[in-house]
Amino acid sequence: MKVAFQGEPGAYSEVAARHLFGPKCQVMPLPQFETVFKAVKNGKAQRAVIPIENSLAGSIHQNYDLLQQTGLNIISETHLRIEHVLMCGKTGSLKSIKEVLSHPQALSQCSDFINSKRSLSPIAFYDTAGAAKHIAQKSECSQAAIASIHAARLYKLKILKRNLENNHQNYTRFLGISRSAQSPKKGKLKTSISFAPAKNETGILFKMLGIFALRDVNLLKIESRPFPDRAFEYIFYLDLEGSPSDKPVKNALLHLQEIAAMVKVFGSYPIGKRTYIE
C-alpha cells in the first residue's frame, strides 16, 4: 500500500503513517498538502496521512479546506505524541552548536530550551525532517536540528538532547484518508461532517447543534471556516460520537439536512488512541 504524506522522510507524518497503515507500508513524501490530497485523488497513492490539529497549536485550517474541496474520506486517526529531539552531525556537541534549524512551530514549542542557551540562534526551516536532512548533508559542527527521533535515526545524526518541548502534553491528531469510504462495525466510532446553514438568522447554529443534543449525540469538536461562495458566512466542521448506522446519529443527520444548505459526511472511523515514537 502506498501512503502519501507531506514533508521529508523522517517527518512526524511518516511515523503516523506507519502507525495507521503498518510499518511496512510504502510511504510517499510530498512537498505540499495539496499534492498529498491530489496523489490520493488521482490514484497515485492509495492512502494519505495528514495532520488536522495539534493539542497546543490548534487546527491546521488548510487541511480542513482541502477535505471539503476534494471530497476524500477519513478512515482512521491517531494521536501521536510529539517529542522534539536536538540532533547534530558526528563532530558536533552542545558546546559547539550556535544555530538550531527547524520548522517555526517546533522552534516555538522548544522556546524554553532555546532561550536558556544564550549563544543558540533559532533558524526557521521549511520542515523538521528537512532540517535533519540538511544537517546530515553538512560537515558543519556549529548547526543542529530539532526533529523527531525517527529523523535522527534515519539520517544517522547524534542525539544531543531529548524531550525539548516546553509542554510534554504535545500531541498531533493525524487522519488517514482514502478515495473510498469504510464502514467500521466494531469499537467506539467517531464521525466527521461539515455543514452550512441555509440562511444566516438568529439562533440558527443553536438550532443545528440542538438537533444532536435532542438525540443525546455527543459532540467532540466544532470548527468554523469561511464559506468560499458567501462572504463572511461559514462552513462548520463537526466531530461526533457514533456513526450514521446508529439510529440517533442517522436521524440527527436527516434532520440537519432539512435546515442546512449543505451537509457532507467525511467518514466514520475508530476513535484514535495515543501513540508514541519508540
Give the active site residues: 172, 174
d(CA 250, CA 259): 15
- Sequence-distant (≥ 6) Cβ neighbours of residue 102 within 8 angstroms: 84, 110, 122, 123, 124, 125, 128, 131, 145, 146, 147
What's the grid cell of residue 95? 558546546
d(CA 271, CA 186): 11
d(CA 195, CA 193): 7
Specify which residues 224 forms β-bridges with.
Answer: 236
Q: What are phi and psi of 7, to 5 degrees?
A: 125, 180
Pairing of strands 260-270, 189-197: antiparallel
Distance between alpha carbon 145 and the CA centroid of its chain, in Å?
A: 21
d(CA 159, CA 142): 14
Contact 131, 146 (CB under 8 A): yes
Q: How far apart are the first and last CA of the chain?
A: 23
Nearest-Å Rg of the Cα atoms of the chain is 21
Contact 275, 80 (CB under 8 A): yes
Eight-state DSSP code of residue 140? -
What's the grid cell of residue 161? 538532547
d(CA 50, CA 37): 9
Closest CA to 96 of 165, 148, 144: 144
